[in-house]
Structures are given as C-alpha cells and as structure tokens.
Amino acid sequence: MKLWAGRFSKEADKKTNDFNSSISFDSRMYREDIEGSIAHAEMIGECGIIEKSEAQAIIKGLEDILADIDSGKLTIDPDAEDIHTFIEGELTKRLGQTGKRLHTARSRNDQVAVDIRLYLKKQIKEVTAQVKELVTVLCKKAEQYSDTVMPGYTHLQRAQPITFGHHLMAYAEMLLRDIDRLEGAYRHTDAMPLGSGALATTTYPIDRTVTAKLLGFSDICQNSLDGVSDRDFCMELASVLSIIMVHLSRFSEEIIMWCSWEFKFVELDDAFSTGSSIMPQKKNPDIAELVRGKSGRVFGDLMTLLTVMKGIALAYNKDMQEDKEAIFDAVDTVKMCLTAFTPMIDTMKVLPENMRRAAANGFINATDCADYLVKKGLPFRDAYKATGTLVALCIEKKTTLEELPIEEYKKICETFDEGVYDAISLENCVNGRRVLGGPAGENVRAQAKRVLSLIEN
C-alpha cells in the first residue's frame, strides 16, 4: 500500500510503479537512511514531540533493521517505491502504531537530501584516500627516477631534456589540486538539510542543532527551500571527479604511448596488461585504455546532473530523483579506475636506456647549445640562428650535435670551443635546470618530499 493511500482511490499501475521507483539505486543508502532516522527519532523524542519511550522503541527497531539488512536476514523489497518508504514500512510492520510516529516533522524531501549527503561524505573520504595513495606511489617512483633523463615534449615533438621523475611529479601536482578540490566538495556536502521538511520546515518545535550534532554535520542548511532542493554538492563532486578523470585519462594516454614499440619507455606488469586472442606477440595496455575511455562516463554524469538541475523551479521536484544514478556512477567509476590505475603505475617497469636513447636523438639539447653561446656574450637571437644552422647541418650529415666535430661548429660561429660538448651533455642540460619547478634530480627529490609531507596530514 502506498504512503498516500488515503488520498487515492486506485493502486498504482505496475509498470508506472517501476518507472516511479528509485529503490533499485537508492537502496545502497539504507545505512544512511537508518542513521538519519535514528537521529530524527532521538531529536523528536528529546523535544517532546513524541514520547521518549516511543523514540527509544523506534531507535531500537531501526537498529534491528540495520543489523538484519547487514546480515542478509532482511532483503530489501525491489517493489518498494524507495529506500525511505521501505525502511519506514518495515519499522511499522515490526512496531505497529509506534513505527508510524517516526515521520512526524519530516518529509522524504529532507530525508533523501540528508541521506545523499551522509553517503557522499563517506565516499569523498574514500576517493580522497585513493588519490593520496596514487600521489604517494608517484612521489616514490619520482624519487627513484629523479636522475633518469627522458625527452620532454611539446606538440609531441622532442623539445628539451627532462627527468622521468619530473614528468611523474607533474601528475602529482595535478592530483594534489584534486585532493584540495575534493576537500572543497566535502565542505559543501557537510551541511544538514533535515528539518527543512517538504519545503517550509514544520510547526513542531524541532531542534535542528541536535540532529546535526548526532549526524556529525558541521553546518546546517540555512534556508529550507534550498535545503531540500540544493544538489550543488552533487554537481560540484561530479565536476571534481571529472577533472580527476581528465588527469587519469591524460596519464593513461601517455602510458599507452610509452608502452608502444615506438617509445618503449615503460613496460606494464603482466598482472596489469592483457594479451590478444589472435596475435601472440601482443601485450596490451587495456587498463590504461579503459581508464581513458571511462572518463567519458564521468563527464556524462556531470552533464546529466547539470541538465537535470538547470530548469526546475524551487523546491523539490521528482526530476531530482535522477541525481543519484549519475553521482553514484561517477563515484563508482573513479574509485574503480583508481583501484586498477595505482597498482598499474606502482608495478610498471621503467626503461631508462630507451628514454635516454630517445633523448639523445632529437636535438633536444639545441636550446642549451644556443644558451652556451649566449653565456659567451652573443645575443640570444644570433645564438638561436647559429644553432638552427648547426641542426640543419647535422640533419644533412646524418649526425648529432654531440658528434659533430668542433671545426664544423667554428665554421658556423667563431665563438664555439670544446666547452660546447660539456654544455650540451644531457646530464648537464637537465642538472642545469635547478630553478624552482625544474627537472634537475635534486629538484625532483625535493618536490617529492614536499608533496609527501603535504598529503601526510
């Protein structure tokens, strides 16, 4: 029987009931729904809205229901309209009249809002811990490969030499900002809507500070219309999760490239790669590809939330039931991706010789060659031009700047002497870039240390 049976003269159409129902996806909030109800019962008991003894009985009844769902003794009815209706119905089945008093001074509108917030607060903490784990892995790997020279790219063209540790620490910085953004999303989720009622609070003398305290909220929604119809925290979280997916997807793209025979900078552990059903030589970076692909789902979830919310008049409208599948999917997807991605990075084999070889073949030290002339007094534009001519000559002679004899250098610019070879050695190119933010080994080690200490607290 429906909650509104008194007002209606017909049962709901079965297919329409399925359409209207949210139990298939909101049942995952059963714990939060019960926690919210326990706090509400305690508060209305304390405020003298129901008898204290009845509040006690309701709390005990709810605790039993929670234990029974947890143990599998009680299964959630898939035909119930939503988790709130199911729990309240079960309570009434068990307690009779007393169970019916729980919904005094409350609406499903503030109830669902508090449930989602309680649920997401836990999820944000879990995602944050997972991101921190990935950052830790990156810092450790960066320390290990702080002196490993690799080509740095712009336009996917070899540009200047960097270190592998420096490259990894770039992702650590992105993820560090993601952690900060998750904390911001948490702050906006941490406000309690309970007591907003259906939209305009209640005439019962409730005390919202009691429920906020019992449920561990640091803030209380200050306007009841906003309290029941605010889903900013879902949109904000989905935005943060989308940015995280952009970062993971970009990183995945690089891993995929680095695994190719054209690069071969890294090799993924067998446990995090797949083979081909037909080509025996293949080892595919499926995990990275899936992470890259799954970013699309999360962006889609964000778009769903934005679109659902943008046109609804205050306060609650049933459209908002669409919030849950989107935000749950975004959270689930990011958690799943991180679960596979972090150990994939942790176990991947780095191939420094191949990185070095790639760095040695692309005139990646041309800037340093020009800088060498500048340090000897030439204006940068002249030095740039002379070096450009040298590079063209090397290409013509199928050689490198390292191997080109000094006489050839001198023919193009008198200022060159033997010192140039030292200036363009890859190690010197990298270690010379010691300014804050640079790729030199000592910088990378300092960056890794700094980031590790930041995420420790």
Smallest CA-to-CA distance from 215 within 312, 113, 126 is with 113
What CA–CA distances, in Å, run from 135 to 163, 166, 246, 267, 284? 18, 13, 16, 20, 25
Rank residues 171 and 328 by Cβ distance to ligand ARG and give the closer one.
Answer: 328
Among 32, 54, 82, 230, binds ligand ARG (CB under 6 A): 82
Q: Respond yes or no: is residue 27 known to be catalytic.
A: no
Phi, psi angle pair for 16, to nearest 5°: -65, -35
Nearest to 409 by CA among 437, 457, 369, 449: 369
Active-site residue (options: 103, 155, 167, 196): 155
The residues that bridge with 192 in the sheet, in sequence order, are: 220
Name 219's bridge partners: 191
Return the residues of window 117-146 that contact ligand ARG according to CB under 6 A: none
Look up residue 177 and give its amino acid: R
Structure tokens at 84: 């709130």
Binding of ligand ARG by 308 (CB under 6 A) = no
Q: How far apart are CA 135 and CA 118, in angstroms?
A: 26
- Taking the complex as a whole, the smallest distance from the CB of residue 24 to ligand ARG amounts, in Å, to 11
Regarding 194 and contact with ligand ARG (CB under 6 A), the answer is no
Q: Where are the alpha helices (DSSP H) in 348-399?
A: 352-360, 366-375, 380-397
* Residue 10: both structure tokens together: 């017909």
In the bound state with ligand ARG, the residue whose beta carbon lies nearer, of 198 and 220, is: 198
Spot the catalytic one: 27, 276, 277, 453.
276
- What is the smallest separation between the CB atom of 221 and ligand ARG, expressed in angstroms? 16
Instruction: Name which of 25 and 263 has its Cβ closer to ligand ARG.
Output: 25
Q: Is 112 in the site for ligand ARG (CB under 6 A)?
A: yes
User: What tokens does 214 get?
Assistant: 């019992």
- 155 in active site: yes
SS3 at position 104: coil
Considering only 320, 355, 369, 424, the residue that binds ligand ARG (CB under 6 A) is: 320
Helix (H, G, I), strand (E, B) or coil at 413: coil
Between 40 and 108, CB nearer to ligand ARG: 108
The residue (of 26 and 178) whose beta carbon lies closer to ligand ARG is 26
Per-residue x/- mask for ligand ARG, residues 215 to 254, rule CB under 6 A? ----------------------------------------
- The residue within the footprint of ligand ARG, chosen from 108, 181, 292, 433 (CB under 6 A), is 108
Q: How far is the CB of 121 from ligand ARG (least distance, A)?
A: 18
Choose, by CB under 6 A, the member of 145, 164, 251, 316 that binds ligand ARG.
316
Interface mask toward ligand ARG for 12-51; x: CB under 6 A: ----------x---x-------------------------
The residue from 27, 37, 98, 109 that contacts ligand ARG (CB under 6 A) is: 109
Q: Does 321 bind ligand ARG (CB under 6 A)?
A: yes
Burial (CB count within 10 angstroms: exposed 0-12, middle 13-18, buried 19+), residue 286: middle
Question: What is d(CA 325, CA 284) in angstroms, rounded to the nearest whole number?
Answer: 32
Min dist CB 115 to ligand ARG, Å, is 9
The count of other CB atoms within 10 Å of the CB of residue 378 is 17
CA 166 to chain CA centroid, nearest Å: 22
CB of 112 to ligand ARG, least distance (A): 4
* Rounded distance between C-alpha atoms, residue 364 and residue 302, angstroms: 41
Residue 196 as a binder of ligand ARG (CB under 6 A): the answer is no
Looking at the DSSP bridge assignments, the partners of residue 191 are 219
Distance CA 401, CA 421 (A): 8
Binding residues for ligand ARG, how many (CB under 6 A)?
A: 10
Count other Cβ atoms within 10 Å, centred on residue 80.
Answer: 20
CB of 67 to ligand ARG, least distance (A): 24
Applying CB under 6 A, the residues found at the interface with ligand ARG are 22, 26, 82, 108-109, 112, 316, 318, 320-321
Q: Which residues are catalytic?
A: 155, 276
